[in-house]
Chains A and B, each alone.
Chain A
Amino acid sequence: MRGLVSVLSFAACLATPALASAQEPAIASAQEPAPAAATEQSDPWEGFNRNLFAVHEGVDEAVVEPIARGYRAVTPGVFRQGVRNVLRNLRGPVIFANDVLQGEFNRAGTTAGRFVINSTVGVVGVFDPATPMGLERHDEDFGQTLAVWGVDSGPYIFIPLMGPSTVRDTFGRVVDAAFDPLNWIDGDEVDDVRIARTVFTALSAREQVLETVDDIRRDSLDPYVTIRTSYGLLRESAIQNGPADVQDLPDFEDIDDEPALEGSAGGENPQH
């Protein structure tokens, strides 16, 4: 199945800010038939978004992708992993703030513990000794916090060079920037650090999804739609902090069975 377009490298994609920072408002009642519009990501600006997506693809193929391939070619895997670790560690304060705002105090403790251990024992985040100690990494952002507070995702938007998003999640990115201590400090050196972080964040994210994007471009019936649907599903998972309750999974009717509900959406996930 084309979902498997993602199989291998999609895992990497999950971790990337570009494709992976999304979600939907979770949990509608399982008894309520899902409204058709809620099954897929709301995209009332699709025509405009497709134009932006075309711009993104043009710039990516001409500039960003070749640089990402070059980055992979000239750096060893251990170096790139170290870069990813440092970038993730720098997000610690933002994740911590959002853990707290969501009332997830255990997870806030995990984030704080990871930040302290990896910033010290892990040599400013290059290594990740916290994970083997049982402090598993997770991500949070203000878009997720708003979803937890009940704010709807709003329309889907595709932002060139930043990727898929929604109105809610785009606003969340702005707030996350305000949470980030690195943005509070003035000074030329700090400016350099901020620029370096931005460049490496983009480079590292793109490098991680090289195969995924290749697969989507090559095999997807509609790459724009595949990216939009992937983004929606990943954000749903991120908002509910991981795997759904197994009872919330959709039914897979046998074609010979009678439909469960007259006129219902044949196994479409009730929580969407």
Chain B
Amino acid sequence: MPARSISRAAFLAGLVGVGLVAGAPAAYAARNAEAERYVQENASSALRTLGDRSISAAQRRQTFDRLMQQFADMPRIANFVLGRYSGQLRADTALRTEWTRTFQEYAIAVYEDRLERFSGSAIRVTGSTERVAGRDVIVDTEIQPRTAGGRPMTVQWRLLRSGNAWKVVDVSLLMDGNQIWLAQQQQRDFLAQLDANNGNIRALMTEIRTVTASMRQRIMARS
């Protein structure tokens, strides 16, 4: 049988067709409307607060701190980021209290410093996936940059339900298909520090306080 030649145009059209099929939407996954609403309301409030120039810097910080403490499960995150060293917190209540407070102040300062760049941006929930029905949910959102024409950033929020309240325990950024979960990154950074200092959490706290103070100065200078 003679070989049939394929025209270049037909070949290119075929490639494009394959590509379009490959771009078809993913399969349906279970969503959780309550968790989606929680993220929409609280993340919007946080970004709105950072962009609110009608209140003083001190009021802005106070409001943002309160929002973040309600929105995120800081004690649980503080425990997680210590990984295999978190056992020390169980054995020493004073250390646990001190660590949780130090980490919380640090985390809120980092959020306030970094998220300021997103202040006033619109956030839109695009979906969610239940990891454990009604208790552990990943909510997908897009943050639209303030500058026109910029591509929205995909941000995922992992929420755990404890009692009657949802709380965020981790946040991921997704762009060009690559994802990074920030608490996981934080854990690896801290583990590297703790491995190097023989697991001395108090020494780690000293370093963290220095960084927090530096960030606070910068935030104040900007206000």
Contacts and interface: CB of A to CB of B under 8 A. Distances in A.
Nearest to A21: B178
Interface residues of A, number: 74
A109 B22 contact: yes
A15 interface: yes
A252 B18 contact: no
A237 B183 CA distance: 15
Contacts of B131: 246-247, 249
Interface size class of B (residues with CB under 8 A): 35 or more
A233 B188 contact: yes
Interface in A63-106: 77-78, 106
Interface stretch (A172-180, A183-191, A264-272): A264-272
B interface secondary structure, majority:
helix
A139 B180 contact: no
Contacts of B73: 252
B19 A40 contact: no
A63 B193 CA distance: 30
B220 to A, nearest CB: 15
A139 B178 CA distance: 9
Interface stretch (B36-44, B48-56, B58-66, B77-85): B77-85
Contacts of A242: 174, 177-179
A108 to B, nearest CB: 8
A221 B171 CA distance: 20
B111 to A, nearest CB: 6
B193 A225 contact: yes
B122 interface: no
Contacts of A39: 83, 188, 191
Contact of B110 (A110, A114, A219, A252): A219
Contacts of B16: 112-113, 116-117
A7 interface: yes
Interface string B168-188: 011111111111111111111
A196 interface: no
Contacts, number: 236
A266 B80 contact: yes
Contacts of A36: 84
The A interface, classified by DSSP as helix, strand, loop or mixed, is: helix
A64 B223 CA distance: 31
A247 B29 CA distance: 13
A226 B189 CA distance: 6
B162 interface: yes
Nearest to B172: A243
B165 interface: no
Contact of A107 (B22, B195, B207, B214): B22
Nearest to A254: B76
A18 interface: no
A254 B211 CA distance: 26
B87 A266 contact: yes
Interface stretch (A52-60, A130-138, A147-155, A158-166): A130-138
Contacts of A127: none
Contacts of B199: none
A14 interface: yes
B180 A137 contact: no
A238 interface: yes
Given A6-B173, A233-B185, A219 B214 contact: yes
A230 B118 CA distance: 22
Contact of B182 (A4, A107, A244): A4
Most central of B153, B183, B187, B207 by chain A CB within 10 Å = B187
B12 interface: yes
B19 A110 contact: yes
Interface string A13-39: 011000010000000000000001001
- Most chain A beta-carbon contacts within 10 A, residue among B153, B176, B186: B176
Given A39-B188, A268-B187, 8 more contacts: A5-B114, A109-B21, A113-B15, A116-B12, A219-B211, A238-B178, A242-B174, A254-B79
14 contacts: A7-B182, A116-B16, A135-B19, A138-B176, A219-B113, A221-B211, A233-B188, A237-B177, A242-B174, A243-B156, A250-B80, A254-B75, A266-B85, A266-B87
